[in-house]
Structure formats: structure tokens, C-alpha cells
Amino acid sequence: MGDFVELRPLPEPLRAAQLTPEAQHYKGFRTLWKQKESSRVVNVAFCPAKPHRLAVVSGTKVGLWQPNKANAADSASSSVSKFKDLAQCVAWRGDGKLFLAGEAGGTCAVIEAETKKVLRRFRGHGDAVTCCAFASADKSRAATGGRDGKLRIWDVATSDLLHTIDAHTDCMKVLAAGPGGPDGWITAGYDGCARLWDLRMGAVGAAGASWSRP
């Protein structure tokens, strides 16, 4: 029989949060507002104009919430559910009067925030509309990006399609208004590319960078 060896409890390892100053910083954050949706939330957007409502995309509806109120929900009527398919994305116009909501069926609805009415729909994508945005300096222009990788520019008043650009070889996931008026747009997609577009230069008017991952 071998010699007796005294065993001692192993010391407990320190948590990463106790070692990382960054983790300690984020531990000080607290939840100011919370709202449970009936299905997974796929996109959110704050309205830049007062009363700064929060649009939440979940299932076949877009909920409009007032996070600065004691009671989280404005009312039961603060949801837009006039979609035939799953809602995918949302974007506010700068004045807060309109917002866009992309749908899995390939359309994008233009919705009046005050009445919750769908004013018109942009139709043209062959697959889901995954991102959308209004032009930064022109209320009459909007853009959509889809799973088909195409960037489409629309006239908000007439719903006419103005430009179609093969922006990405895979799903476009990010779309934002760029500098320089209604002709500047920024896109990024699952093909690992981010691009800055100037529509005054046509379909070749893009500068961008590539990554090895989406």
C-alpha cells in the first residue's frame, strides 16, 4: 500500500468578471425598460423625432413602444400587424411621421406613424426585404436591401422604382443613408463586403472593403 497523501480542496477559480476591468464596467449597467414580445425580435429602431418611440419587429407585426413612460406600452393600438408575412426590418424617417417595414414576402410597407396606416408598398425584391432606410436629406427617397443582394431606391410619394443595383452576391443585411444627399448609401452583406455608393456615378459608383466573414 502506498504512502498516505493529504488532499486539499482546489481553490475556486476567479471569475472573468473579477479580472477584467471592462466586465466590471458593464456590470454597472442596469435595465431601464423591458418589454416581452410574443415571438423573437429581429429588428428595432428608435424614432429620431419626439416622442422618440421605439419600433420593435417581432413576428408579423411592428410594435411601437414608449420606453420613457412608466407603463411601457402606449396602448393596444400601438402595434402594426398589417403584414401578410413575417416582418423583417424597420426604419424611421427623420421627422418621425413615416416608417418603413420590410417583409419576408419581398415587399416593404410605408406606414404613417400617427394613424398606423399602410400608405403604399414597394414591390420588386424576389425575396425577403432584410434592411431599409430613408435618405438623410430627402424625405421623398427611400432604399431597400434584400436577400437577393440588390439595393433598390424608391420614390416614397409614388412608390416608383428609381434604381436597382446588384450590390452584393449574398444577402444584404445592413443599409444606411450616406452623406451627400439622396444619392449616398452604405450597404453591407453576408458576402463579407461593406460598400459606400454614390448613385450619381451609376452602378459602378461604389467604394468598399471586404472581410473574410459576414
pLDDT confidence bin for 12, thresholds 50/70/90: confident
User: Of 146 and 83, which is predicted with more confidence?
Assistant: 146
**What is the rounded average pLDDT of the residues 105-121?**
95
For residues 122 and 108, what is the distance between their CA atoms, to the nearest angstrom? 5
User: What are the pLDDT digits (tens) for 13-56?
Assistant: 766 556 678 877 888 888 877 888 888 999 999 999 998 899 99
pLDDT confidence bin for 76, thresholds 50/70/90: very low
Beta strands in the chain (DSSP E): 41-46, 54-58, 61-65, 79-80, 87-92, 98-103, 107-112, 118-123, 129-134, 141-146, 150-155, 161-166, 172-177, 184-189, 193-198, 206-210
**What is the rounded average pLDDT of the residues 120-145?**
95
Task: Give the model's pLDDT for residue 17.
Answer: 52
Q: Is the pLDDT of residue 113 over 90?
A: yes
Q: Is the pLDDT of residue 128 over 80?
A: yes
- pTM (predicted TM-score): 0.81
- Provide the total of helices (H) and of strands (E) in the chain, helices listed first: 2, 16
**Grid cell in block for residue 13:** 477559480
Share of the chain above pLDDT 90, in %: 57
Most confident of 16-30, 96-110, 167-181, 198-212: 96-110
User: What are the pLDDT digits (tens) for 144-169?
Assistant: 999 999 999 999 999 999 999 999 99
Domains and their CATH numbers in the chain: 40-210 (2.130.10.10)
Task: Give the model's pLDDT for residue 56.
Answer: 94
The answer to whether 146 touches 166, Cβ cutoff 8 Å, is no
pLDDT confidence bin for 71, thresholds 50/70/90: low
